[in-house]
Chains A and B, each alone.
Chain A
Amino acid sequence: AQSVTQLDSQVPVFEEAPVELRCNYSSSVSVYLFWYVQYPNQGLQLLLKYLSGSTLVESINGFEAEFNKSQTSFHLRKPSVHISDTAEYFCAVSDRSSSNTGKLIFGQGTTLQVKP
């Protein structure tokens, strides 16, 4: 079974400052990793994902995450945040097994609060 721990429930940061949202996972099998973003009263949107290949993955709006297998982490970073990045961010994991149910296990979420 997999589990996901997002170490910070809230991260306040000033506009144009860098930010890191931490995510650690536990799994006995190889996994796929995801970050989702949720704006108020909306569904979740896929931000980026790691399936294979390069351990550094990037989104179109400047976020990046690095898969670190030895530390079982998939931290999300952005070098300079905007007010519009204020949202809740969820880290998620699914296993690569052939059962192929595609179930995602989510962390508890981190609220990013960008202040002017």
Chain B
Amino acid sequence: SQTIHQWPATLVQPVGSPLSLECTVEGTSNPNLYWYRQAAGRGLQLLFYSVGIGQISSEVPQNLSASRPQDRQFILSSKKLLLSDSGFYLCAWAEANYGYTFGSGTRLTVV
């Protein structure tokens, strides 16, 4: 069966520090992968998606970047965090258009 792992679960980082969040998928190959951010009291905002190794599409201009170094690995990064980067970050994978499987999320607090 397919599973998705996301870590860490929580993270407190100072403003200006770097960020690296990792997401890995098991039990499938060549998945579409996505990074979403959920700000407090708001819906989900699609940040990046990837349909293959090295292929990254950005949905909104921002302080973050994404990479896909391996087929089932998706990384969200920042060189210098801002206060506005705080939120709940969710990784997801999908087969075609049949809906997502989400990771358990990372709660990021930038202080």
- B72 at the A/B interface (Cβ < 8 Å)? no
Q: Does B67 contact A (CB under 8 A)?
A: no
How many inter-chain contacts with C-beta < 8 Å in the A-B complex? 70
Counting chain B residues whose Cβ lies within 8 A of the other chain, the interface size class is 20 to 34
A43 B103 Cβ-Cβ under 8 A: yes
Q: What does DSSP make chain B's interface, helix, strand, loop or mixed?
A: strand
A107 touches B98 (CB 8 A): no
Q: A102-B32, A108-B43 are in contact. Are A46 and B97 (CB under 8 A)?
A: no
Chain A: minimal CB distance from B57 (Å): 8
Measured between beta carbons, the chain A residues less than 8 angstroms from B43 are 90, 106-109
Q: Contact between A108 and B42 (Cβ–Cβ < 8 Å)?
A: yes
Given contacts A106-B43, A109-B43, contact A51 B90 (CB under 8 A): no
Q: Which residues of B contact A42 (CB under 8 A)?
A: 104-105
Residues of B within 8 A of A (CB): 6, 32, 34, 42-44, 46, 49, 51, 57, 88, 90, 92, 94-105, 107
